[in-house]
Amino acid sequence: MSVESMNATSMVSTTTQPANTQQVNQNQQAAIAEKQSQAAEAQEAQKLTAEEVQDVVDKLNDFMQGQQRNLNFSVDKDTDNLIVKVMDTQTEEVIRQFPSEETLKLAKHIEGMLGLIFNDKA
């Protein structure tokens, strides 16, 4: 094999290799985009609306009253956190609350601070 034919052969193989690499990269990018799309669709399907959450909370409360238990479920309107209260059935007094009032106040304060931080940077 002559030097010229060897050079021609190596030129052909090096020019086709980047095209193959580009095709592989495009296929990988398409696969990644498809996976991201599927993940986004799955996340959207798992989100509950405020009405659906309230419906679940109401059903939990109905179930607990039917069982004569002293638990009360609700959703905090400011933080959208689920609140569970242990109640005294005779006096209707709150014995314990999860998360506590202090924790809810702290969460509201942190959300307010984050809003200020991100609004200042924008």
**Residue 54: both structure tokens together:** 């309230």
How much is the pLDDT for 115?
78
- Given 47, 64, 85, the domain boundary residue is 47
- Going by C-beta distance under 8 Å and a sequence separation of 6 or more, which residues neighbour residue 82? 57, 73, 74, 75, 76
Same domain (yes/no): 17, 60:
no
Q: Give me the number of domains the chain comprises.
A: 2
Helix (H) or strand (E) holding 85: strand 82-87
How much is the pLDDT for 17?
52
List the domain range (segments joined by +) for residue 42: 1-47
**pTM to 2 decimal places:** 0.45
Q: What is the pLDDT along the chain (122 residues), one digit of tens a residue?
A: 554 555 544 454 444 455 666 676 677 777 677 777 766 666 666 677 888 888 888 888 788 776 656 888 888 888 888 899 988 877 888 889 999 999 999 988 888 888 777 775 54
Same domain (yes/no): 38, 56:
no
Same domain (yes/no): 28, 79:
no
Same domain (yes/no): 54, 35:
no
Same domain (yes/no): 9, 62:
no
